[in-house]
Chains A and B, each alone.
Chain A
Amino acid sequence: MKLFQKLISWVRGLFAERPRGVEFIEGDELPVHFATRNLYVAREDGELWSAGLNCPCGCGRRLEVMLLDEVKPRWDLSIDNSGLPSLHPSVWIADGCRSHFWLRHGEIHWC
């Protein structure tokens, strides 16, 4: 029985999405293409400029949101003790796939 439960949790682990990590890019801009599913963050002199990721719906779109204090609209980035990122508030794409989701502790929560 115990072995069976272990097997189930192992199979689940194979299909569950691993949480997304953070990659910092030195400078005020993000790369044109994101190589991984991580959240990319442009940081210059300790100041956060923007965060970007490939759209989690799989449409292939490159998303970028601003983190600068001086800019509107803007988002807040927080990173938990495990190094997993959260964005506040939610991300809502105005056209195309119109994805609307929260990024919390590296995981996508669809709205």
Chain B
Amino acid sequence: MSTDVTTEESRGLFIEVAGTDLVFRPVSIADRSPTGRQILGYCDVAPREEYIVLQWLSEGDVEEVRSDETVNLDGQTAAKFIVSKADRLYRFFLNDRSLSWPDRSISEAALRILGKIPSAELLYVRREVESDRPIEVGSSLPLADLGVESVYSRLAQWDLNVQGVTVKFDRPDVLVRDALVKAGFNPEQGWIIVLKTRDGKRQVTIDEMVDLRSPGIEKLRLTPREINNGEVPQSRRQFRLLPVDEEGLTARGLRWETFVDGARRWLVLHAMELPPGYAVASTSIAIEIPSSYPTAELDMFYCYPQLSRQDGMTIPQTQVTEAIEGRGFQRWSRHRGAIAPWRPGLDNVITHLALVEAALLREVEV
């Protein structure tokens, strides 16, 4: 690696020299105004006429030093030179600095060193007709093509098309809700959201993260969720759940309804498939939604028809029957306890459903 040889005594007596790998090493010199030919002599390369000397100036440009040209090293700290076997030079621009390079191509790593470009920024080659082409990490840029290449860097940026509106992000993980807001869509309006990528498509919810790293521009396609599928005309919605709940339940393809019985508010999920081991294959699951939900926690759940194990073993803490609209639901006294306490703002019907599914699985696990 490069060594800074800038102490008072050694100033002017050393230069730093590297090949196209830009690994600099100190080379001692006898003269503060060497010619290109003398620099080649200090570097001990032969035959000298086959080599080219370039100076990497402190402003960032890289210029050729011809064999009879003198470089004045007075006042310069550790002047940097690139010495390489070459019979011609290739010119290009890097962030508007003019550079000469002794090879037909230059690596992405060398571009970063020469341009002092941090890894958070991406490199691009300007293109006239098509869109500018990114220079991938670890690749190299050919310089022998016609014309002078122009390379620039900018902070990494990911594009997402939200129903025809292109929004830009400086990170590749994006919350669907944020994307909608940024594109000017009201996320609370209720949307069917389809994420479309080059590899395919899938329905996503408003609180899902999408990954924009894969090639091509991803698209979020929106359709208003205002039309019910006539297959489920009996589903009642007597009170609203959180948007995340309604999105999540619908995205899972569940048939669900909300209603008030007496003074109690119930969410009932129909035709919930059960893991093997129960006497029935599916059941309805009721969850009581307290009036102060989501501040107040969801607790326990209720099954109808009542569940029993195929092997006849009893299921603990399921002996109480709760009448909901006249039907006897079996109460599963499963509580969150100290290990998984209710987290207001984080927990909801969907996270509670995960506990329900775990509780149902636990009883029949081998």
Contacts and interface: CB of A to CB of B under 8 A. Distances in A.
Interface of A: 28-29, 49-50, 63-66, 68, 70-75, 89-96, 100, 102, 111
A50 B201 CA distance: 14
A72 B251 contact: yes
B316 interface: no
Contacts of B229: 72-75, 89, 92
24 contacts: A28-B219, A29-B221, A50-B223, A64-B224, A64-B227, A66-B223, A68-B201, A70-B194, A70-B201, A70-B203, A72-B203, A73-B229, A73-B250, A74-B229, A89-B230, A91-B227, A91-B230, A92-B227, A92-B228, A92-B229, A93-B226, A93-B228, A95-B226, A96-B226
Contacts of A111: 230
B245 to A, nearest CB: 15
Interface of B: 163-164, 192, 194, 196, 201-203, 219, 221, 223-224, 226-231, 233, 250-251, 253
Contacts of B224: 64
Contacts of B226: 93-96
Given A64-B223, A70-B203, A28 B228 contact: no
A28 B230 contact: no
Q: Main secondary structure on chain A at its contact with chain B?
A: loop
Contact of B230 (A70, A71, A92): A92
Contacts of B251: 72
Nearest to A42: B221
B256 to A, nearest CB: 12
Given A28-B221, A68-B194, A73 B228 contact: yes
Contacts of A63: 227
A95 B190 CA distance: 12
Contacts of A72: 203, 229, 250-251, 253
Contact of B203 (A71, A100, A102): A71
B217 to A, nearest CB: 13
Contacts of B223: 50, 64-66
A89 B231 contact: yes
A75 B227 CA distance: 11
A97 B224 CA distance: 15
Given A29-B221, A68-B201, A100 B194 contact: no
Contacts of B196: 28
Given A28-B221, A29-B221, A71 B227 contact: no
Contacts of A90: 230, 233
A70 B227 contact: no
A110 to B, nearest CB: 12
Nearest to A47: B201
B203 A94 contact: no
Contacts of B231: 73, 89
A90 B231 CA distance: 7
Given A28-B221, A50-B223, A71-B194, A100 B230 contact: yes
A64 B229 CA distance: 12
Nearest to A44: B196
A30 to B, nearest CB: 9
A106 B227 CA distance: 19
